[in-house]
Amino acid sequence: MKKFVVIFGCAVFMSSSFAQNAPPVREITKQIIRVVNGYANSISCSDVAVGPKDIAALVPYKTLYDYDDARYAVLWYGDIGCTGGSGTTTVNIAIVTVGRFDSFVVDPLLSSPVVSFPIGLEPIELIGNTHDSLVLDGFDYGPKDARCCPSVPFRITMRVNEKGNWKIIKRKVKKLKK
């Protein structure tokens, strides 16, 4: 009887440990911010400071069974390669994946500067996303704008292709709210 209780107890313990959920969203967000800030600051000369509003869950990490597929797109501003000068700080993207034991890593082959991410708007705000697209609001330069101050509001939709490059598929001028 004791042997049965021990075996049953071990089976219950093992099944509960295998059916665990992913870490809480707050912890996932914290880990993503940490790895992207480290990545971006190691390849650019800007003081990169990613926040929760810069993260899009392309494929969210919800259970231990889907960590292989989990992917997050993170937008960040930086001067990749430290070229300096006017217009060298641009919007970039980092794709974060999940490894074993809940380790979060930037996939450099799917992130700036390797992949194309032709945004052209500043500043930008992440509005929404799907598993392969991002919707962003930002400003572009009008014909009389100074280089400091873009004034034409736009909404763009971008989609990623099979090679990881991003392309603008829809660009629309937004009306200013009065």
Asked if residues 67 and 22 have their Cβ atoms less than 8 Å apart, the reply is yes
- Sequence spans of domains, the chain: 22-173
pLDDT score for 99:
86
pLDDT score for 47:
83
Taking the chain (178 residues) in runs of 10, the rounded mean pLDDT of each run is 49 47 92 96 89 97 89 94 76 93 93 90 90 95 86 94 94 80
pLDDT score for 16:
41
Inter-CA distances, 137 with 43, 60, 99, Å = 26, 22, 31
pLDDT score for 157:
96
State how far Cα 13 lies from the chain centre.
35
Q: Which of 137, 139, 130, 136 is nearest to 160 (CA)?
A: 130
Q: Can you give the pTM of this predicted structure?
A: 0.83
Distance CA 46, CA 14 (A): 47
pLDDT score for 52:
97
pLDDT score for 6:
45
